[in-house]
Structure 1
Amino acid sequence: MRQPAWIQSLQASRASSIAAIGLLVAVAGYCLAFERSLYAAGWSLLILALLVLVLGRLLTSSLALAAIVLSVVTVSIVKNHILQIALHSSDILMISNWDMQKYLWSDQRHYMVALYASAALIIAMLAAVYMRDTSYIPRITGFAILAIGSLFFFTAASAHSEHPEFNFTSVNRHLTNFYASLRETTGIAQNRSYFGISNNVKAAGINQERCNRTEDTPNIIMIHEESLFPPSLYSEIEYDRSIDPFFKSVDGDLHLLRVETFGSGSWLTEFSVFSGLSTEAFGGVRSMAPAIMTGKLGDSLTQWLKSCGYTNIELSPFPEGFAFSGRFLRSIGFDRIIDRKAQKASTFNERDAFYFNNAIAEMKKHFADSSQPLFTYIMTMATHYPYDYTYAPEENVAGGTAKSAPYIDEYLRRVGLAVRDYRAFVSTLKASFPSKKFLILHYGDHQPIVTGNLAASSSTSSDPRSSIGYLTYFAFDTINYTAPPLPKQKIVDIPYLGSIALMMAKLPLNEATASRLSLLEECDGRYSFCPKKKLIADFQERLFETGALKVH
């Protein structure tokens, strides 16, 4: 009996077929032996079937699959090495942002060179193999393979009840984690609902009010301190104790802030400060929270400040489009974003004094032309990794030591520089604007990667979000202004910080802000993990009912 043409083709190209089978065995072996995941094997077979259907070549498709698997695993290992976070498929969307690529090129150039070179090599190799590949698979056979692959995928996943959720801290199953994250990433394109709210929810809305500012309110300065936290959190760290007062507020106390990211992801903290919401609601795609929620908020910190007559400006070390933050910030009431280019910064991590001096210059221009109060948001970067070189070597500043924390000395040097620059900034404010009132809020956006081992050894809870590694600080200072008492909670979750700032500025509070401050008391500082979860859910449903929060 005459054999089908595609089988004759495979027999004629025996070397290609053997090579293809070898690659497939290697991929299957990795999925089953190393990740112990039929789910990953099922996904890989499904991708192979799609590649065969599109390319019509068994060897090229097998090689492409092997390249995908190897790339995902390698990039996940590198990401985990840097950030202690697993690779998520939405990272592809994030890195497609041109300003993010420019930042990574400046900050992690050796990794970006390796990424670009590897991508070019893989494309060239696949093109060369495709031109010589004789393992032809007809389209009808491709559809049959796709059907088999789909059946295996759904059967394997169902039989083992896998369909795993993406786990930020699970880094031993790189491929499984990546495949599991695909459902969350496709949810962005499908405009899925977040916060557990459906369109048919019925709740009492929150009143949409206008701010009737009656007294002479302070100008507000909010400083997003990169990678800053109180070193006193870890007993293992030895450091210059003269920096401790920097972390304390006007009341003389240290106030701890629980953030939702570790080692990186400044834009996640930024999102929660301004939105009053938790990025936990977005699951594995929380890195895309600013992009997802652009144009969907009506109750942000800066929108209320604008209603109170404030002019809102930002001074950023990044290009405006970085991590989609520029569009997000403009959608919530920022009047001007003075980015890296506008400030004529030569690097991404200028001294804090560079941004502070630029802020002083902007304030002088504003106060000369306008009687409106000013909200100035400043991001710093000097304390950002990497820490394998001496920053500002001409400066004599104390460092520190800690066992199991490589590069902690250099990190603590930079903290010392940050404290020095902040104190000089406050002195300059007093001298430049002797009659102006200022409320200054500075806070740490996340801990640096160098505390990873310390946080792991200090953790006593099975809940990773309760880890000491998610604690930073917030502090208020004043100039010519008397602030009210701060909340009494020992630790405050990041979504409350914007509402606390409004309270400290003695501004009229709308119902949403008053409700958040009530939740702060009811939940003892917790938000997403508040023991009274229904209170948080009801509050978010009320925001939705009013239109202050759009979930689609």
Structure 2
Amino acid sequence: MRSTNSMTLTARAADLLLHRETAIAATLLCAALLYLLEGALNHMPFVMLCVLAIATMLFLLSRRLYFSIYTALTVTTLLSIASVLKYRTKGFDLHIYDVVFTGTDPKAFAFLLDGFKIYILPFAGLLMASIAVLAFVFIRDRKLSITPLKRSGLVAATVALIPVSYPLHAEEPRYFHYLGGYNASAFFISFLDLRDATFGQGNAERFANMPAAEPFAAAGECETTGSKPDLFVVLSESQADLSRLDQYGIGQQFSGQFESADGKRRKLRVETFAGGTWISNFSLMTGLSSLEFGWRAPYLTTSLEGKVHQSLATELSRCGYRTAVLMPMDHGFVNEGPFLKSLGFDEILDYDRIGASEYAHRDRFYFEAARAFIEEHRRTDGRPLFLEVQTMFAHSPYSDLLADAEPESASESGIFELDEYVRRVAQSQRDFRWFIDQAENESASHPAIILEFGDHQSFATRDVMTELNPDFALYDLGSPAYLTYFTVHGIGTDVDMRPFDFASLDIAYLGVSLIEAAGLDISPMFSDLAALRDHCEGKMYFCQDRAAVNRHLKKRITSNYLTIE
């Protein structure tokens, strides 16, 4: 009896799903959902033609009409939902390179699985349920006797219509589309980037078309005659200047913080929002704007490995420094470890080497690991030290209350993610103060300069910032969404603050400014970079004199300091 009832229910489900009206209703509902996720009506012809292209290709292979329709709708919807989740946490839509790079990077995948279970597990459940339903439809859907020629014609006609519906202007950079939260179309548009990369189009051609430029003079010996202070750079993960956030009492809580030793607060312009720490670190270490490479910005640690031959590491090595980076992630995460080694860094202290047991230790853990390395270095190596310390405690997600933060750090907005973020930043700033105190305790024998900066803003403050500032827009790289901060502290040594004194400083100039502030000799290339900073008033990609920026880039290429393929 139960078997008969089960067979009846299965038959009824099949009859319902394999029905013309049901397929039409599903298509209309899916189109409405995709429109909500896209937010732009004029993009919908492109989106729905992409759905139709997937359906016709599946129909060509399977001859099953309903299976092809439902699978195309499901795939597009799941991709769009994944894009929404990525955009919410990273400020960048889903891209085909997320499959090419991140999807094939086990370290990156492990990090996402560990840190974003709240998103991944429900999505995985939805995916499994979808596969089960589609498998049922596949089994019950009968093959149609339509010739391969006609099925191929449907594919060809649909694919031919897609370029006509393309939602961007011909010369409009696709990079800005991915910043706009167009979650239904972004993944499909990104296939054009894969095409360009495959056939060598894009950046190489643009750089090649720049006017010819003479190479830089060769860098000689470092002629710094005075003392060489240790240089410590602290990458304060996901932090912005919360003393400027005048809502829910947050600004008052951080009053007097995010200031340099001279009492000034300084703005840093970065090129990523809510994620992509390695993008900011790329610019710091190379003196290059990631925006010069368009949509490739999130993938430069892979695509430019071994192709940047003059960097902050090589500049400081020339002046006798030992160079090292302490990072919370595995050496191979988004290929950052190998990329930094290719820039000339002597040491990469990664997740395993510092004895990490999770991805979001309190920042004190990273500072203590840094102190252990510093003390070992001073026992065994007489060179001055450059060390970058990357932190992690303020990183998303903020769905859980992380341990080890003092209770008085709490915000009272009533918005859990915002309050948890504020609590973590407050603790991170206290831990940073501890690191400064350790340096001050030995300032007489080991003078140092400590530069701290926020790598990007957090999505936890996006809604509040949008309310306070109507110019806050992720699609506008000149908006306040891309402003963080940096602080500079001289420990037992004088610091020339003039290289930092701009209305805002682009992160690509932060490294050369630190070198100048320390009074170190700089090579011709870095001297030209500093001159470009002054000429462009702290701006790089958005410098009003675009020809000056192009000239500097071309000179790097001509000098074989930058290889573009």
Shorter-chain TM-score range: 0.7 to 0.9
SS of equivalent residue, structure 2 residue 371: helix
Q: 1:401 to 1:189 in 2, by over 3 A?
A: farther
Q: Which residue of 2 aligns with 1:511?
A: 524
* Structure 2 residue corresponding to 1:60, chosen from 36, 53, 67: 67
More off after superposition, 393-402 vs 365-374? 393-402
Q: Which residue of 1 aligns with 2:409?
A: 398
Q: CA deviation at 1:453?
A: 1.7
Q: Which residue of 2 aligns with 1:436?
A: 446
Q: 1:186 to 1:121 in 2, by over 3 A?
A: farther
Query: What TM-score do the two structures reach when normalised by structure 1?
Result: 0.88
Q: 1:399 to 1:22 in 2, by over 3 A?
A: closer
Q: Which residue of 2 aligns with 1:234?
A: 245
Q: Which residue of 1 aligns with 2:384?
A: 373
Contact 1:44 1:65 (8 Å CA) reproduced:
yes
Query: What TM-score do the two structures reach when normalised by structure 2?
Result: 0.86
Corresponding pairs, count: 538
Q: Which residue of 2 aligns with 1:482?
A: 494
Q: 1:512 to 1:159 in 2, by over 3 A?
A: closer
d(CA) in 2 for partners of 1:447, 1:343: 26
Question: Is structure 2 residue 512 aligned with structure 1 residue 499?
Answer: yes
Contact 2:243 2:258 (8 Å CA) reproduced:
no
Q: Which residue of 2 aligns with 1:528?
A: 541
Q: How does 1:138-217 map to 2 (within 5 A)?
A: 138-157=147-166, 165=174, 167-171=177-181, 173-194=182-203, 196-198=206-208, 202-215=212-225, 216-217=227-228
Q: How does 1:112-511 map to 2 (within 5 A)?
A: 112-136=120-144, 137-157=146-166, 165=174, 167-171=177-181, 173-194=182-203, 196-198=206-208, 202-215=212-225, 216-239=227-250, 243-392=254-403, 395-401=406-412, 407-431=417-441, 434-461=444-471, 464-487=476-499, 488-511=501-524
Cα offsets for 1:205-227 (capped at 9, x unmatched): 22341442543311211110012
More off after superposition, 271-280 vs 448-457? 448-457
Q: 1:364 to 1:71 in 2, by over 3 A?
A: same
Q: CA deviation at 1:138?
A: 4.2
Q: 1:402 to 1:282 in 2, by over 3 A?
A: farther
Q: Which residue of 2 aligns with 1:539?
A: 552
SS of equivalent residue, structure 1 residue 383: coil
> What letter corresponds to residue 473 of structure 1 in structure 2?
Y
Q: 1:25 to 1:144 in 2, by over 3 A?
A: farther
Q: Which residue of 1 aligns with 2:99?
A: 92
Task: Provide the alpha-carbon RMSD of the alignment.
Answer: 3.1
More off after superposition, 148-157 vs 13-22? 13-22
Question: Is structure 2 residue 45 aligned with structure 1 residue 38?
Answer: yes
Q: Which residue of 2 aligns with 1:76?
A: 83
- Extract unaligned runs of 5+ from structure 2: 1-14
Identity of aligned residues (%): 26
- Extract unaligned runs of 5+ from structure 1: 1-12
Q: Which residue of 1 aligns with 2:9?
A: none
Cα offsets for 1:491-534 (capped at 9, x unmatched): 11111111111112222111221122212222211211112222
SS of equivalent residue, structure 1 residue 464: coil
Contact 2:268 2:484 (8 Å CA) reproduced:
yes
Q: 1:15 to 1:325 in 2, by over 3 A?
A: closer
Contact 1:257 1:492 (8 Å CA) reproduced:
yes
SS of equivalent residue, structure 2 residue 98: helix
Q: CA deviation at 1:63?
A: 2.6
SS of equivalent residue, structure 2 residue 67: helix
> What letter corresponds to residue 543 of structure 1 in structure 2?
R
d(CA) in 2 for partners of 1:98, 1:424: 34
Contact 1:276 1:499 (8 Å CA) reproduced:
yes
Contact 2:234 2:452 (8 Å CA) reproduced:
yes
> What letter corresponds to residue 445 of structure 1 in structure 2?
D
Q: 1:159 to 1:435 in 2, by over 3 A?
A: closer
Q: CA deviation at 1:117?
A: 3.6
Q: Which residue of 2 aligns with 1:4?
A: none
More off after superposition, 507-516 vs 27-36? 27-36
Q: Which residue of 1 aligns with 2:562?
A: 549
Contact 1:16 1:135 (8 Å CA) reproduced:
no
